């Protein structure tokens, strides 16, 4: 399948260089790397392959710009963010096409991601003027306490390929609002959505040096130097728990402030009083958004024994009706997985579940290339020791197990090292609140299969990380608290 003229013009328009100090430039080494269309395996573009020297240039720019940017009026910061929201909204169709080409997800999913990313710019445009401290009398009446909220300082953002723009937007927008400068290192599999965003931020009026983007195929080596640089003050990472763990260790040398959005293993719990149709609708969203390649994807379906068969056959019917293919075609709902490794892992998990006795309701068989496709798969009565229940699937596979009572369901839901999100379906308010209290996750979707919302604090507990993105909480990640004890004779 070849790209159309429109697709080619969208790719041609996306910047392919490093964005450092307001300039687009090649890597110092002159090296580039190929960005592949996961639906065809064809190269879409060559992008600058930055390394540690380029990252240091970006660090210099971020450090140089920090004081001026922190002094930029909050209203002005907000207006830049608002303009970025408007530009993203105006250009959503082309940006969605670009994202689908480099990442593979359906156009509807890409469009939803652009809207979601844009909403962070709108939300934080409104927050930039509400960074409040306080001035309070000391309890003993002999002085006052002044509490200031100041920008943390230069930040490093490392983002993944599954939401190539939104995972950056959740960090970039509050950092801009708070008055921080930054260096962004997007995933090498999907750099174009981030370079396109950087161009939009510049167009929106963001001064040179505030947001620097370094694309690179050697992530670890590229960021190692700046993680040790005393001018860096904060690291925010979204990606795997394994890499997150290494980065937390690396961040200890300069005692960086750290936010981590790591892996998940979300339980999707359907109680016997649930609205079955709503549960199936929610399951389709929670499982199939991004073809399952989301840390919030429902990974384990725990269904009360009285509903398990109906839920399984209903979900299988819905997943089986979804159209698969290269997702630049708007009728395609299921695109490819990101790469061959991802597909091989999902195929392996399905195979392992079947060897442990799972019943395949739909899908289950590997698909030959080109493109890294996996058929939507529903597995019934998956054994508790099957890998598909223990590992993050990151693919369109729905393993179902049954439970008999609420305690067993909650115990099973919490039986994982992860704690990002859980989905709970019940019409009983008491049960809903009891379960929400006892489930060990940072977020819960109650009778809905989607929790992501720029106005809400997104984040996990346990091995899913710490820190929150979005909502009023989102800006606190980029603010330091300074307290001044005032001795005064005035009062
Ligand atoms: P995923 O499984 O989503 O690809 P990763 O954790 O491997 O998650 O990657 C997320 C981001 O982290 C990407 O931008 C990737 O380039 C970057 N990354 C991977 N390894 C390292 C590392 N050792 N140090 C810093 N960044 C890394």
Pocket of ligand 1 (CB under 6 A): 158-162, 185, 187-188, 219-220, 223, 239-240, 243, 246-247
pLDDT (tens digit per residue) in 293-348: 999 999 999 999 999 999 999 999 999 999 999 999 999 999 999 999 999 999 99
Contacts of 49 (CB under 8 A, 6+ apart): 27, 29, 31, 32, 33, 215, 216, 217, 218
Average pLDDT of every residue of the chain: 97
Strands 234-238 and 397-403: unpaired
pLDDT value at 142 more than 90? no
Residues 25-78: tens digit of each pLDDT: 999 999 999 999 999 999 999 999 999 999 999 999 999 999 999 999 999 999
Beta-bridge partner residues of 300: 267
Whether residue 2 is predicted with pLDDT greater than 70 in this model: the reply is: no
Residue 341: predicted pLDDT: 95
Residue 271 pLDDT: 98
What pLDDT digit, counting tens, does each position of 103-126 carry? 999 999 999 999 999 999 999 999
For residues 420-425, average pLDDT: 98
Model confidence pLDDT, tens digit, residues 446-456: 999 999 999 99
Ligand 1: residue of 239, 256, 261, 391 to mutate (most ligand atoms within 8 A of CB) is 239
What is residue 487's predicted lDDT score, i.e. its pLDDT? 85
Q: Distance between CA 18 and CA 183 in Å, rounded? A: 11
Q: Which comes out higher in pLDDT, residue 244 or 2?
A: 244
Beta bridge partners of 136: 145
Helices and strands of the chain, counted as H and E runs: 16, 22
Determine the distance from the C-alpha atom of residue 102 to the mean position of all C-alpha atoms in its chain, rounded to a whole number. Answer: 16
Residue ID of nearest Cα to ligand 1 atom 25: 220
* Mutation choice for ligand 1 from 102, 104, 187, 188, CB with most ligand atoms inside 8 A: 187
- Hey, whose CA ends up nearest to atom 24 of ligand 1? 220
pLDDT exceeds 70 at position 491: no
Lowest mean pLDDT among 1-15, 249-263, 371-385: 1-15
* CA end-to-end distance (rounded Å), the chain: 77
The DSSP output letter for 294 is S
At the topology level, CATH places domain 266-453 in Aldehyde Dehydrogenase; Chain A, domain 2 (3.40.309)
Q: Read off the pLDDT of each residue in 13-18 and give the average, rounded to a whole number.
A: 98
Token pair for 7: 């697709």
Cβ(313)–Cβ(413) under 8 Å? no
Percent of the chain residues past pLDDT 70, beyond the cut: 99
pLDDT band at 370 (very low <50, low <70, confident <90, very high): confident
> Is 143 a residue whose pLDDT tops 90?
no
* Measured distance CA(54)–CA(27) in Å, rounded: 7
CATH topology of domain 5-262+465-481: Aldehyde Dehydrogenase; Chain A, domain 1 (3.40.605)
pLDDT-based confidence at residue 84 (cuts at 50, 70, 90): very high
Residue nearest to atom 13 of ligand 1 (CA): 187
Ligand 1 pocket test, pick from 158, 190, 226 with the greatest ligand atom count within 8 Å of Cβ, gives 158
State the distance from the centre of ligand 1 to the C-alpha of 50, rounded, in angstroms: 15
Question: How many Cβ atoms sit within 10 Å of the Cβ of residue 341?
Answer: 10
Note the Cα 444 to chain centre separation in Å.
Answer: 16
Distance (Å) of CA 440 to CA 390, 422, 443, 474: 16, 9, 9, 21
CA distances from 422 to 25, 151, 157, 287, 308 (A): 43, 33, 26, 12, 18
Check if the beta carbon of residue 222 is closer than 8 Å to that of residue 54. yes
| Cα–Cα dist 481/86, whole Å | 32
For the chain, give every residue range classified as CATH 3.40.605.10.
5-262+465-481
Domain with CATH 3.40.309.10 in the chain: 266-453
CA torsion, ordered 66, 72, 76, 80, to nearest 10 deg:
-10
In the prediction, which pLDDT does 353 show? Answer: 98
């Amino acid at each position: 399948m070849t790209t159309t003229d429109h697709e080619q013009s969208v790719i041609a328009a996306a910047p392919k260089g490093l964005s450092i100090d307001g300039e687009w430039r090649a890597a110092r080494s002159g090296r580039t790397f190929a960005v592949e269309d996961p639906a065809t395996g064809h190269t879409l573009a060559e992008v600058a392959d930055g390394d540690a020297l380029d990252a240091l240039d970006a660090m210099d720019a971020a450090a140089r710009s920090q004081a001026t940017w922190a002094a930029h009026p909050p209203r002005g910061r907000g207006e830049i963010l608002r303009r970025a929201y408007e530009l993203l909204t105006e250009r959503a169709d082309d940006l969605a096409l670009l994202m689908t080409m480099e990442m593979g997800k359906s156009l509807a999913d890409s469009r939803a991601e652009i809207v979601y990313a844009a909403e962070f710019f709108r939300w934080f445009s409104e927050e930039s003027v509400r960074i409040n401290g306080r001035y309070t009398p000391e309890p003993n009446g002999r002085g006052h306490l002044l509490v200031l909220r100041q920008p943390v300082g230069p930040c490093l953002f490392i983002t993944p390929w599954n939401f190539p723009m939104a995972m950056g937007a959740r960090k970039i927008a509050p950092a801009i609002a708070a008055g921080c400068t930054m260096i962004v290192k997007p995933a090498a599999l999907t750099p174009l959505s981030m370079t396109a965003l950087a161009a939009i931020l510049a167009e929106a009026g963001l001064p040179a040096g505030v947001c620097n983007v370094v694309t690179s195929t050697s992530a670890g080596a590229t960021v190692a130097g700046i993680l040790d640089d005393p001018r860096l003050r904060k690291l925010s990472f979204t990606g795997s728990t394994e890499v997150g763990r290494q980065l937390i260790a690396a961040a200890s040398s300069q005692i960086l402030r750290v936010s981590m959005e790591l892996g998940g293993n979300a339980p999707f719990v359907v109680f016997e009083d649930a609205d079955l149709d709503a549960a199936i609708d929610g399951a389709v969203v929670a499982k199939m958004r991004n073809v399952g390649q989301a840390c919030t994807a429902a990974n384990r379906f725990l269904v009360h024994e009285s509903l398990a068969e109906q839920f399984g056959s209903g979900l299988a019917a819905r997943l089986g009706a979804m159209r698969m293919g290269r997702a630049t075609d708007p009728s395609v709902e299921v695109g490819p997985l990101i790469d061959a490794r991802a597909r091989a892992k999902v195929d392996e998990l399905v195979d392992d579940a079947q060897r442990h006795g799972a019943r395949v309701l739909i899908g289950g068989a590997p698909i030959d290339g080109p493109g890294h496709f996996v058929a939507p798969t529903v597995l019934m009565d998956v054994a508790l020791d099957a890998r598909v229940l223990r590992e993050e699937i990151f693919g369109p596979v729905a393993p179902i197990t049954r439970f008999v009572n609420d305690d067993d369901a909650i115990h099973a839901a919490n039986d994982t090292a992860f704690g990002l999100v859980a989905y709970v379906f019940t019409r009983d308010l008491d049960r809903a609140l009891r379960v929400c209290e006892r489930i060990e996750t940072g977020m819960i979707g109650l009778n809905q299969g989607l929790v992501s919302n720029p106005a809400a604090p997104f984040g996990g507990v346990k091995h899913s990380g710490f820190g929150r993105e979005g909502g009023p909480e989102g800006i606190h990640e980029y603010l330091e608290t300074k307290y001044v004890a005032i001795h005064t004779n005035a009062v």
